[in-house]
Structures are given as structure tokens and as C-alpha cells.
Structure 1
């Protein structure tokens, strides 16, 4: 009798798991919206006061903050033999970093964080959230570290829209994103006052940070001398329509590895890719040109080749940053991830890579790992574009 009850409980558990899987497949958009989209009324935020970003407390990273997260380097970086299970896989370690001339001028980097506030109790996160802070440090370490050889990183805190704002077309989401953008613009204006008037710089951001950078390019930088000073803009993890957005931005896409004063953008998916959570809002939106984004290709600059579109095998990957099980450190592994841009503008990385099983979003979306999958290539890419920019302006 006891065995029969046990088998019944097992059968019931299996049925519930299968039922949950079917429900998730059929209603994942609705379930995500219920779980993450705020039910509260939106708070009307005041603009930050003039010179608010002169306060060091308004920044996660800037040159006068000691031990910034952006100084982090993965295990095995620059070593001849990597501290990973590379011997078992037959993967050779990543190479040493690109050497830079000690006399080469430092290039400041304005880096905008992705979404790190995951609660649904409000539409805009507070400037300082104890819950979000570890995630901010983690993303800054894994993403902004790409640029720590080039120059000093500036990363503002801002009242970012919460994650649920990206899962709904509710008017509150648009308002929340606008509030967040205003903080980023204020931080950028202060950043410009702290570097030389003719000094080149790099823009970098991911996800929500990429969105705010694209808006910054369109609304604040286009038509100003600052546009010519941009070495490159890394607008990663945010869809930029080739037809409806790019013509209204002050920079072209990075067509070649040696291009500068241009935009790098991509979104990583394993195959089979299902981007409907992106396209369902993308297709209903209007681009910076005023035209609809529906059925338009997204900009894809392949980080393995440095060129627009194209394809590269895994052996072109100079080093992916592979997180450990606790997600508190990571090591560098070469030759792990291929990449090709498809006709839709998605960056496809082949079959789901085993080392990145956690935090993969629905549809085989490797959004969280956009920087990590191509860390060494992006690091080399930045150094190469700095050199190309300096040659171009001589």
C-alpha cells in the first residue's frame, strides 16, 4: 500500500512538472508579466539637480573611486596555461592581452549598467539599492573590465527602469525609461566636463544601458562636436534597427575590424533561437527615424570578426569568461563559442554552450552573457579601434 501511495505521489509530481512546462510554453509572456511588471502607480520623478553627478556617491565607478569593479580580470588572464579544465576539453588558453604603448593616451570610457533592480514594487529603482548593488558590481566587473586596459571607466548610478518595464507595452514602462534616460544624460554631461574638450572617448552599455546610449547618441550627441570624438560605441544587448534607427544616429555601423567612430551592436542567442520576447515589442515600436521597426533587421556586428554580419568558428574566440558554479568568479577559456549573424540580425552561437546553463532567458536568449561569451575579443576590439581612431585623426 505504501509503495502504491509513493508511486502515486511520483506520478502526480511528474504530471505537475509537465503541466507547469506546458503552461510555461503557452503562457510564458503572461507569467513573466505577472511576476515582474509593477502593479503600482508610477512615481513622477524630479530631474536630478544641476551638477548632481559632481557627487562621487552618484557613481559606481569613476577615477577617484578606489578598487573599482572594472579592474577585475578573470582567472587565467595572460597566463600561458589557463586555470580551467582546458586540458580535458582540449581547448587552448586565451592569449596574453594586446600590448599597449606606455605613451599611448588613455581613452576614458562612459559605461552604462544594465538592469539590476529585479523587484516589482516600483517602476524606477532607487539610486542606491542594497539589493541591486551586488549585481551592479558583478556586471561592471564582467563587462566594463573589457575596457580597463584602454583607460579609466566612468559608470553612473541612475534610477533605472525595473526589469518589468521591458515585458509590457504599458505607458508606465515608457515613462520609467524616460526618467532613467534623463539621469544618464545628466551623468554624461558631467563626464564631458571632466575630460579634455578634444579628448576622444568610448561609449559602452548593455541591455537597458545600451538603450540609453542609443538615445544619448540620437538626442544629445548627434550634431555636436562630441560625435566626432567617439572612438566606438558598444551598444550591446539592445536591438538597433538598421533601417529605422541607424540612419538617425550620428555614427555608422562598424563595417570592418579597423573601423572607428562607429557602433558595435549584437544580441546573443543559441540555436534554435526564439526572439519573440524581443520582437513582440520591437515590431510595435517606432525607430529614431520615425519609421516602424517592424520586420526590419537588427544591427549585428560579429564580435569574433569585428565586422558587420559574417560568421566565425569557435577557434576565432580568443577567450570566453566562464563563470564558476557560485557565480562569484570566472576563468578564461579559448575556442569555446562560435558566432554568426543571421538575416534577422541575431548573433547565433550554435548549440547551447554547456558552461553557461544558468540565467539563460526564454528562447535560448544568452542576453546575460553577451559580454562574457566574447570577453577577450571585445577587449582586443577596443584596443584595435583606439589605434584605428588615432590613425584616422592624425
Structure 2
């Protein structure tokens, strides 16, 4: 057992007592919050959390340069919300690229890997919500090759951390409404959390603004043409900007990329059609850590291309990304395309839609009873 695992286990035992831990390990608590603190009371198990000494979401310079229609450049300062009325609980995607099955046990050593998706996906949400982002012993990329991975020990270990972190969030924030946000493996963890904690718990669903389950790559099942059923009976896909306790899910794909026709289309919620300008993405952003050349004159670490990209759900259920003006570069940056997936923009699932998602969660939060 690793030192990190020893620390987490020891903290858990001290927090709730051995007898209580054995009970919690054997059943799911249907209450709205845990009775006692667990290991995630420790600040060093969080990347972002209000009040901790090193909040990675607050420490970033998120000043951004927008490239306008005439290719002029406008610099915008990022403003952190002073007293937001809701929270965002974020679970990052796979960053452990080892080919052998396993879990990331040394969370301190892996922190730099966690920061890249955090920066691109979650940090900018602190303009509208308080961001909570736990570290967790996620599965390696190689674990996805294991038969029935959802029932594997690798998945169980990763999910146990996410669930404990969420329990700690509930304990410390009674009554607060929240958005769940995840990408790829993070979305897989959230789907499990929704199934175990929300599907049969009306009290928690009443606090759920929405769940951004981005890039689930087939793990979310909804009958084609329906908004509910399959994975969930009580948590539908979002169909209007004012819907709550619903799911926004999609997998992006480059427009025109040839992919085999699926027997059943993936669930696809186009965020531009939930109160935005249908078919036109509000803003695609990325930063200078992606290795993509910036236009001459850009001095910020972030660049944005407002209303340059189009989006629509195709016949396979992919959110197909195209461009409005070919002369505005880049169109679909080839550096972001995972060629092994044949046109998938999986790595940039959040980058293309973040402007619409930020707007959407604000509207949804205002619509809460």
C-alpha cells in the first residue's frame, strides 16, 4: 500500500471510526450529506477549493485575447466571481497514460499532469461558480482495455475517491446548489455518482443544477429519440436552458470526418441550442501550452475565437464542429485532433463549447426553484 493510500486510509479511520467505515463500505448512504468528515477534509487532496492555501483555479492568469471577425485582437481580463451563488464540482479526465492497468497512487507526483485539463476545462468557471476539483486515484489509460472495466478494482478505487470527495463537499456546503462537471474518465466517474447518489435521491436532485458529462464516449445510454431511459429513469438529457437536474453530454467530431455509422446514435446535447445562438459556438479557446502557434501580436496565454465555429449533432450522435469563416485561422487545429480516433476532437471537447457552457450554467442556476 502506498504512503498516499496509507494517509487517506488513516484519515478516513480517524474521521469516522472503524465500525462506521465498515458500514459505509458495505452500503450507499441515501442521505443528503455524510455524518462525519473523511480523508478529503485534507486540503492537499484538492486542486481547487475555496479557502485552501493553493487553489489552482485562482492562481492562474486567464487573461485572454479574442480574435474578432476582422482579425483584430481584443484583450479581456478574467474576473473571478466575488460571491457566486452556486458551486461547480469537477472531475478531470485521464492524465495517467501508462499502458498497463492500474491506478495513479502518487497524487503529489501526478499533480502537474492534472493541471493541464484543469486549466483548459474547469478553471474559467470560477467566473460564475466556486470550483471544487479533487485529486483522485484515477485509472490509467491501459485500464480501459480490461474486460468489464466498470466492475474492475481499478474503477472501484478511482470512484471511491470521487465519491468520498463529493461526500466531503456535501458535508461542508449544506444546502448549496451545484453543477457536476467532468470529461472522459471524469464523466465516467460522474455517471457512476449520478447512478448511486442521485437517481433515487430526490433531495440531491433538487440541488443539482445540471451535470456536464462531457466526452462520455458511449458510457451514457439513452434510447435514440428519447431524453430519458437507458442509464437513468429520473435524470433526463437537458432540452431547454431552464432545465435542472439534467445532463449535458456530447462527443465532438470534426465536420466532414468519416466515421462508421453507429447502430444507435450517441446521446448528443448541443449546448448552442440551449439558449444560445443555435448552431454557432460562442467562443472556442485554448492556451499556449497546447503547442499551437498563436497569431502574431498575441501576448496573453489564452486565445479565443468567438463565433467562429459551428456545431450540430450528426446522425451518429457526435457534436460535429465546423467553421464559419475559413480565412480565420485556425479552423479545426490538426494538433487537437486525435488521429487514432479518426477525426475525433475529444481532447478539445470543452475548448470548443466553453463559452456556451458558461452561459448555460448561469441560466440554469437562475432557474433553480
Decide: shared fold, TM above 0.5. yes
Cross-structure match for 1:342: 314
CA distance in 1, matches of 2:277, 2:362: 22
Contact 1:143 1:371 in 2 (8 A): yes
Q: Secondary structure at the match of 1:205?
A: strand
Q: Secondary structure at the match of 1:70?
A: coil
Cross-structure match for 2:159: 181
Q: Which structure has the greater CA radius of gyration?
A: 1
Q: Secondary structure at the match of 1:187?
A: helix
How does the TM-score come out when normalised to structure 2?
0.74
Is structure 2 residue 86 aligned with structure 1 residue 107? yes
Cross-structure match for 1:157: 135
Q: Deviations over 1:56-89 (max 9, x none)?
A: 122121112245332346433xxxxxx3554764
Structure 1 residues 246 and 357: alpha-carbon distance in aligned structure 2, compared to 1, 3 A threshold: same
Cross-structure match for 1:116: 95
Equivalences, count: 314
Cross-structure match for 1:381: 360
Structure 1 residues 233 and 73: alpha-carbon distance in aligned structure 2, compared to 1, 3 A threshold: farther
Cross-structure match for 1:297: 265
Is structure 2 residue 350 aligned with structure 1 residue 371? yes
Question: Structure 1 stretch 141-150 or stretch 178-187: which is displaced more?
Answer: 141-150
Contact 2:179 2:210 in 1 (8 A): yes
Contact 2:322 2:331 in 1 (8 A): no
Q: Secondary structure at the match of 2:353?
A: helix
Q: Deviations over 1:114-143 (max 9, x none)?
A: 11111235511114152x322311211221
CA distance in 2, matches of 1:173, 1:261: 24
Structure 2: which 5+ residue stretches go unaligned? 14-37, 293-299
The Cα shift of 1:366 comes to 0.6
Structure 1 residues 73 and 262: alpha-carbon distance in aligned structure 2, compared to 1, 3 A threshold: farther
Cross-structure match for 1:5: none
Structure 1 residues 272 and 230: alpha-carbon distance in aligned structure 2, compared to 1, 3 A threshold: same
Cross-structure match for 1:231: 209
Cross-structure match for 1:288: none
Cross-structure match for 2:193: 216
The Cα shift of 1:150 comes to 2.5
Structure 1 segment 44-63 matched on structure 2, within 5 A: 48=9, 49=12, 51-63=38-50
Q: Deviations over 1:208-229 (max 9, x none)?
A: 0001101110112222211211
Structure 1: which 5+ residue stretches go unaligned? 1-44, 77-82, 280-293
CA distance in 1, matches of 2:107, 2:79: 36
Cross-structure match for 2:31: none
The Cα shift of 1:98 comes to 11
Q: Secondary structure at the match of 1:265?
A: strand
Contact 2:268 2:318 in 1 (8 A): yes
Contact 2:66 2:306 in 1 (8 A): no
Cross-structure match for 1:203: 180
Contact 1:165 1:173 in 2 (8 A): no
Q: Deviations over 1:86-110 (max 9, x none)?
A: 47647x869999998x7x7521211
How does the TM-score come out when normalised to structure 1?
0.70
Tell me the C-alpha RMSD between the 2 structures: 3.3
CA distance in 1, matches of 2:80, 2:104: 40
CA distance in 1, matches of 2:244, 2:301: 32
Structure 1 residues 209 and 274: alpha-carbon distance in aligned structure 2, compared to 1, 3 A threshold: farther
Q: Secondary structure at the match of 2:213?
A: strand
